[in-house]
Amino acid sequence: MATTAKYNSAFEKKKFQVRKNNRCPLCGRPRAFMRRFNMCRMCFRKLALNGDIPGVRKSSW
C-alpha cells in the first residue's frame, strides 16, 4: 500500500504536466496502471470479474 504522503502528492496538481504520476485511485498502486480504465491491473481484474465494468468479459481459450 502506498504511503499517505506519496498517495496525496500523486493527486495534487503538478507545476509541469510531465511530472504527472499515474496511480490507481482505488488502491494507490503506481505500477501496472491501465490508462484506458484508470485503474491498476488488480483492481481491474477484481471489478471485471464482478461485472462492474461494462463491456468487459472474461476471455476463454
Q: Would you list which residues are annotated within the binding site?
A: 24, 27, 40, 43
Q: Which three cell numbers stand for residue 43?
A: 483492481
Binding annotation for Zn(2+): 24, 27, 40, 43
List all residues 6 or more positions away from 33 whose beta carbon is below 8 Å from its beta carbon: 22, 23, 24, 39, 40
Name beta bridge partners: 35.
none
